[in-house]
Amino acid sequence: MSPEAARFAALRRAVIDDDRLGAARRRSTLSGLADAWLARFFDLLPDAARRDVAVVAVGGYGRQELLPGSDLDVLLLLGDGVDDPAPVAEQLFYPVWDAGVPLDHSVRTVGEALDMARGDLKVALGLIDARQVAGDAALTETLVAEVRADWRRAAGRRLPLLAQACRERAEQHGELSHLLEPDLVQAYGGLRDSLILRAVAATWVADRPHGAPVEEARNWLLTVRDAMHRAAGRRSDRLLFEDQADIAERLLLPDPDTLLRRVAEAGRHIAYASDVTWREVDRTLASRKRRGWRRRPLRRPLAEGVVEHDGEAVLARDARPDRDAVFPLRAAAAAAQAGVTVGPQTVRRLAAECPQLPDPWPEAARNALVSLLGAGHGAVPVWDSLDAAGLVVRWIPEWARIRYLATRTPVHRHTVDRHLVETAAVAAGLVRRVTRPDLLLLAALFHDLGKGLPGDHSKTGAKIVRDLGHRLGLPAEDCAILGRLVRHHLLLPEVATRRDPDDPKTLATVVEAVGDREFLELLYALTEADATAAGPLAWSPMRARLVGDLVARARGALDGAPAPHPRQLEPAQEALTNGTLPAVRVDDGRWDGAYRVTVAVPPSRTALATVAGVLALNRLDVRAADTHTVGESVVMVWDVVARHRDAPNVARLREELVRAAGESNDVGTRLAARTAERRTRVIPHAEPQAGVLADASSDATVLEVRAHDEPGLLHRLATVVTGCGVVIRSAVAETLGSEAIDVFYLVNQAGAALSRTEITRVLSGVRSALAR
């Protein structure tokens, strides 16, 4: 590195590391430092080389928003008289590379730059913010003026393309205000959209919403991104879970949830401004076309006092919102059912003029809320507009606590408030399956209102929702059903995926909780809606099948059918004991993508742990296991999922089992080596937990272990448990993202549930193993 490059790198590093500057000043200082450096090297060029040449900052550098990890976006702009720009480019760009600063550069004439901007939206957006750094200012002025004039002339053609690109990006990256690990640049409502608002305004087709909220939102996201770059030592745009505590501390915030909430609020301001702007773009472009047809936009009645005008629900001319507390809900329901949103000015008027709803709500208000939710995904943008105007919190004060609240579990992809709205949207497609669609939709919208409060959110939420039901004007019996739905909304997936289906207590628990078929169907639909809205981990084909099987059993029990017999070995499985042991058989499993692996081995205290380890070595994730004694042999039936979609290899599994039988420590040693190889970096996790589930079985002790997933965890736990002198009768394992939940049904050597002393010994051993 040359002395000049080293000096620039040192100055730049000092600016990045200076905590006193603040994010905004750091951005401008880094930009000014780059300006001065490029201008200095440009001025060292001979006069002839500098003639008819300009150094232009584009993109974030052009806006003087350089971040610690940003590229230096530089355009070397040439006049028509420049024959060989190479000496100039080398004089300018090599020192930048030498200093280790990321550089995105181009060398073009004015005409070439204009042609690129006309054919590439990204180039055009970067050049709109172009700024003179050094050289011939007239060249830069010409380019910027021509780019902006072209942008305005081609607005009718280019804005729809830009809108489509924004929609595709939103589908890929999600909405910033409701994501738990958002990309601050690409997610909808992020920094990219704040720039696009300025680009749309530059077309003169539609102006962007002005005022402090949007600008403050943009500045806050830039501040967070600055902290992310400084923490990572490189460009970093996605706010990951493991980084949020560090970023919150750098920004002097009390905790990661506060950070995420403020990021979400900023994203909501930008997203709402974008929604309004794009609707204005659509109206303006449509109006230009209509002028040629000489047609005026139609006003279509939607509900009392509400009409559709230019693709939005607006107030009718004779509407009197100041006299009608139900008006906002009626307008929202009508808009959602018609597939449009409520106009921003209409929402503001409704929030300012409509009186508060009485307590309890009139039936018309409750029906309008149910109608709004029944519109499915069409209700989501309408709900967002009501929420942004403060109407939702006015109607449901409990909503304020869960707005933008993070759910730090591996299955959720949204904040709590967006998850509830998405759950209601999914539930709208399931209403034909239940006798009370209204209660299903309300339970979907309210089932997580207990989050953010101490204790079990299901229990806490049940009381909240019962009280809320009374305020909504529901009869007492409906309030009770609503509370029970919230109380038990996790029952079906937890029992289906973490309990032995053949244990009589498993089915009895569900039947006792639901009571009747009508409630069971409501709970089943709520479960599916909740899990689907949470994400693919929560409602995988395997989970859907397990819950469906449990519900089918519960239906039978409620209809008086005899209890199903415990699962018995099939003749082909039992026949494995007739040959040489160990023996292995592989069949298709109980759900798509799963396999059933049956293993027959000689009786041994460590047999289950050994087989679990062999399956892990073959990259087979265990979902359930149970054991059967057949003569002098033990037959274990395993439900597994192949991590790489390849069917388990019978010969390889048998070979591994033979090897494991001859070398007692071989499986554990190989699994430990694989775990060490996979741990490329240490990420902090929640403390592992181990405890006994009371009343989960009538004749066994049920141990539940929650820990970070890693290769061979089930093998390690089973080894510790059997080392305590107890028998694992069956096991159920679930993996949600990086979280493993393993459940063991334990009995002592006499086949009975464990004594208190035995439980203490097992828990002590398991907790010691997890602490390693």
Helix and strand element counts for the chain (H, E)? 33, 16
Q: What backbone torsions phi and psi does residue 702 show, to the nearest 5 degrees? A: -105, 115
Does residue 546 fall inside a structural domain? yes
Query: Can you give the residue range of the structural domain that contains 239?
Result: 157-293
Residues 6+ apart with CB under 8 A from 149: none
Same domain, 204 and 148: no
Q: Work out the mean pLDDT of the chain and round it to a whole number.
A: 89
Which pLDDT value is given to residue 682? 41
Per-residue model confidence as pLDDT tens digits over 607-650: 899 999 999 888 888 888 888 888 889 999 988 888 776 789 99
The CATH number given to whatever domain includes residue 161 is 1.20.120
Q: What percent of the chain is modeled with pLDDT above 70?
A: 95
Tokens matching residue 16: 């990045």
Same domain, 65 and 80: yes
- pLDDT exceeds cutoff 60 at 20: yes
Mean pLDDT for the stretch of residues 329-356? 93
The closest of 465, 374, 368, 480 to 427, measured between CA atoms, is 374
Does residue 55 fall inside a structural domain? yes
Angle at CA of residue 580, ends 579 and 583, nearest 5°: 85
| C-alpha neighbours within 13 Å on the C-beta side of residue 35 | 18
Number of domains in the chain: 4
Q: What percent of the chain is modeled with pLDDT above 90?
A: 61
C-alpha dist (Å) from residue 416 to 408, 409, 454 = 10, 11, 16
Does residue 625 fall inside a structural domain? yes
Same domain, 531 and 436: yes
- pLDDT top residue among 297 and 451: 451
Tokens matching residue 599: 């293993």
3-state secondary structure 353-366: HCCCCCCCCCHHHH
Per-residue model confidence as pLDDT tens digits over 66-82: 999 998 999 999 988 78
**Beta-strand pair 341-342/312-315:** parallel
Which pLDDT value is given to residue 677? 60
Same domain, 582 and 448: no
Mean pLDDT for the stretch of residues 319-332? 94
- Tell me which of 293, 312, 331 is where a domain ends: 293
Q: Where are the beta strands (DSSP E) in 87-176?
A: 103-109, 131-135
Per-residue model confidence as pLDDT tens digits over 362-387: 999 999 999 999 999 999 999 999 99
Tokens matching residue 142: 């010409």
Encoded amino acid at 717, one letter: L
- Tell me which of 125, 152, 179 is where a domain ends: 152
Which pLDDT value is given to residue 737? 67
Q: For residues 90 and 112, what is the distance between their CA atoms, to the nearest angstrom?
A: 20
The CATH number given to whatever domain includes residue 7 is 3.30.460.10
Which stretch of 83-92, 577-586, 662-671, 724-733 has the lowest confidence by average pLDDT? 662-671
Same domain, 494 and 458: yes
Same domain, 55 and 92: yes
Does residue 352 fall inside a structural domain? no
Q: How many residues does the chain have?
A: 772
- Tell me which of 271, 293, 315 is where a domain ends: 293
Q: Computed from CA positions of residues 397, 398, 400, 404, in that sequence, does the dihedral angle turn out positive or negative? A: negative
Q: What backbone torsions phi and psi does residue 108 show, to the nearest 5 degrees? A: -145, 155
Cβ(601)–Cβ(657) under 8 Å?
yes
Q: Where are the beta strands (DSSP E) in 589-695?
A: 594-601, 620-630, 633-642, 689-692
Tokens matching residue 423: 């759950």
Helices marked H in 618-681: 650-662, 666-678
Same domain, 121 and 269: no
Does residue 582 fall inside a structural domain? yes
Mapped onto helix, strand or coil, the DSSP state of residue 275 is: helix
Q: What backbone torsions phi and psi does residue 690 show, to the nearest 5 degrees? A: -140, 130
Does residue 483 fall inside a structural domain? yes
Per-residue model confidence as pLDDT tens digits over 468-491: 999 999 999 999 999 999 999 999
Per-residue model confidence as pLDDT tens digits over 485-496: 999 999 999 999
**Beta-strand pair 306-309/312-315:** antiparallel
Which pLDDT value is given to residue 291? 59
What is Dmax (Cα atoms) for the chain?
98
Same domain, 500 and 598: no
